Amino acid sequence: MMKPFHEPLTPDNAALLLVDHQIGLFTGVRDMGVDELKHNVSALARASLRLGVPVVATTTSADGMWGPLVPELQAVLPKDLDVIDRSTVNAWHDERVRGAIEALGRKRLIVAGTSLEVCAALPAISATAAGYTAYVAVDASGTFSATKRETGLLRLQQAGVIVSDYASLVVEMLADNAHPIAPDLYGDLDMPFGTLVGQFLAAQAR
């Protein structure tokens, strides 16, 4: 039997890796608005946690030039989450990061990072080579120029990484709008029409 091209993401087979969403790096983001990027990565983390998807978060030189995580994301993450500060360019090359992911036992890895072409792309490509199905949430991964965005996307696709937007990945994991958490989940995503969708689903549930 031919293996299906795409097996769906679920809350039971997925993990989320957040790479270097740091204050210093955000000052250089040019491919989208900084407020939009903060919104998107925070929404991705919040919705993933509601679904029970485990999160691994990492920074680079948090006490130095890049600074801590942006406060909007930090506020969403569990207080007891150990954010791994590393020196390697590719987060996958840090044994603590890779070990944290491997310990979860999940073979589908959603990645978001600043910058897209390095912080998100390199670990996603490495995870793919290691046998994972990797996804990059492009709109939760900013970068520093249009060229970097374009070349990053090309490299991801050449390596077999699935590119998507943050909301589509979460909704794929939800799978059923009749699920009791659907109204709250759409609220977490905070898309422009999300409030209306959430109100409709809540009304349907009554």
pLDDT by residue (tens digit) across 112-162?
999 999 999 999 999 999 999 999 999 999 999 999 999 999 999 999 999
Which domain covers residue 82, as residue numbers? 14-175
pLDDT tens for 38-93 read 999 999 999 999 999 999 999 999 999 899 999 999 999 999 999 999 999 999 99
Q: Are residues 33 and 103 in the same domain?
A: yes
pLDDT band for 22, please (50, 70, 90 cuts). very high
pLDDT band for 188, please (50, 70, 90 cuts). very high
Residues making up the chain, counted from first to last: 206
> Mapping DSSP to helix (H, G, I), strand (E, B) and coil, where does residue 133 land?
strand
The CATH number of residue 81's host domain is 3.40.50.850
Within-domain flag for 126: yes
Among residues 53, 110, 119, 122, which one is catalytic? Answer: 119
Within-domain flag for 5: no
- Annotate 90-118 with b (16+ C-beta within 10 A) or e (fewer): bbbebeebbebbeeeebebbbbbbbbbbb
Within-domain flag for 2: no
Q: Are residues 30 and 124 in the same domain?
A: yes
Q: What is the pLDDT of residue 2?
A: 43
> Mapping DSSP to helix (H, G, I), strand (E, B) and coil, where does residue 44 land?
helix
Q: Are residues 20 and 81 in the same domain?
A: yes
Residue 27: active-site member: no
How far, rounded to the nearest angstrom, does the alpha carbon of residue 50 sit from its chain's CA centroid?
Answer: 14
Q: Are residues 171 and 188 in the same domain?
A: no
Q: Are residues 98 and 198 in the same domain?
A: no
For the chain, counts of helices (H) and of strands (E): 9, 6
Q: Are residues 40 and 99 in the same domain?
A: yes
CA nearest 150: which of 28, 32, 17, 31? 31
Q: Are residues 159 and 185 in the same domain?
A: no
Q: What is the pLDDT of residue 1?
A: 43
Q: Are residues 124 and 154 in the same domain?
A: yes
Q: Are residues 45 and 130 in the same domain?
A: yes
How many domains are there within the chain?
A: 2
pLDDT surpasses 90 at 192: no
Q: Are residues 188 and 163 in the same domain?
A: no
Within-domain flag for 34: yes
Q: Are residues 34 and 114 in the same domain?
A: yes
Q: Are residues 49 and 134 in the same domain?
A: yes
Per the structure block, which two tokens stand in for 100?
A: 């944290």
